[in-house]
Structure 1
Amino acid sequence: MAGATGAAGPAEAGREAAGAAGPAEGTAAATKAEAAAETEREAAALATLDPRLRAALAVDPDARAARCRACYRLRFEEAARYAVEHGFDAIGTTLSVSPYQYTDVIEEELDRAAARHGLDSVFRDFRPYYDEATRRSREAGMYRQNFCGCRLSDTEAQAERQLRKAMRAAERAAHAAERQAQEAKRAEKRAERQAYQDKQQRKHAILKAMRKQMKDQVKEENREDERL
Structure 2
Amino acid sequence: MKILLHMCCGPCSCYPVRKLRADGHVLTGYFFNPNIHPYKEFKRRLDTAVEFAEKVGLDIAVDKNYDLRTFLRRALSAEKREETLTEKPRCRMCYAWRLHQAAIYAKENGFDAFTSTLFVSPYQLHDVMKEVAEKIAQAEKIPFFYEDFRVGWDEGVTICKELDLYRQPYCGCIFSEEERYNNRWKKENKKKMKKLREQKILMDNV
TMscore range, shorter length? 0.3 to 0.5
- The structure having more radius of gyration, on CA atoms, is 1
Structure with greater proportional helix content = 1
Structure with greater proportional strand content = 2
